[in-house]
Amino acid sequence: MRKSPRQQLLEHYRAHARDLPWRTPPGAKAAPDPYHVWLSEVMLQQTTVATVAPRFDAFLARWPTVEAMAAAPLEEVLGQWAGLGYYARARNLHACAVAVAGRGGFPDSEAGLRALPGIGDYTAAAVAAIAFGREAVVVDTNVERVVARYFAIRRPVKDARAEIRERAAFFYEGVDAGAMAQALMDLGATICRPRTPDCAACPLADTCAAHAGGDPASIPPRPPRKARPERHGTAFVIERDGAIFLVRRPEKGVLGGMAALPGSAWRDGAPPAPAAAAAAIRHVFTHFALTLAVESRPEPPRDVEGWWQPRDRLAQAGLPTLYVKALAAFDAARGAPSLLP
């Protein structure tokens, strides 16, 4: 009797599952730790596995339980998150940890998980299925691509999400939803890749409509990229007695709550003609690109709250990548040793 596509995929997963620090291997007797599953899912949002894996281990070393993270100041969590981007995730991470610790543990249903701060439909489904064995249809970007190709859905993902989710339910019928979710994620990450799908290695190739059509890489079609808006601003490097003056950005907005160099507001448009800046960098965010001039200033701006961070402990401030780049460019321009390791 011919095996179903679901059986073929799950068998492939059991034989080829990725070894990830947050994952319980297929067939393991120990149940997945909900804290590990939740933490990894938040960290992996729009961030690669290669980037997250070492940072996940660092988070666990510092906060081995959700209660430990809940007891930490928000500033420490933001600092530990530095460099991972999308910093609203760190604020939501801490708020969710506080809520989970307050109720005595994670709820085990999609509805209960969705009620927690910062947990949306996808994360709720993933944690419910993987950590608690609940029935759920888990659809991330990798799963969207696999499903779109399997059923030859020839519309951009943003226009076809409802259909993709409806079709994805086919894979979850009558099987362990947690195992299937991870099987589909692995398939999309390692075989059904965006530009170079390896159909020869795919357990679903015989029944995949996109493979039958001869051009699976064309599905789902990618909409044309829109030009990113340009913004510009200035950052100030203020030094005194072996320390540098830092501020904390407003809680809401880009890099909310993160340590930063003081500076001007970011304005729309191309930067003006070069002035007295010691250096300049260009940093691309998701929705805009920023050109940041970096200037030396003798004193902190008036009425600006901040603190003096010793140079030899600058790495502990948790500066986001933008300001690490700005300081590196500033140091290079004046031929000085880097302020950061």
Catalytic center residues:
41
Q: Which two tokens stand for residue 293?
A: 């001039």
Burial status of residue 29 (CB atoms within 10 A of its CB: 0-12, 13-18, 19 or more): exposed
Q: Which helix (H) or strand (E) holds 294?
A: strand 289-296
Q: 9 and 203 in contact (C-beta within 8 Å)?
A: yes
Cis omega (within 30 of 0) on the bond before 203? no
Q: 285 and 313 in contact (C-beta within 8 Å)?
A: no
Crossing angle of the two packed helices 157-172 and 141-150, in degrees rounded to 10: 80
Q: 302 and 243 in contact (C-beta within 8 Å)?
A: no
Sign of CA pseudo-dihedral 63, 64, 65, 68: negative
| DSSP state string for 223-245 | PPPPPPPEEEEEEEE-EETTEEE
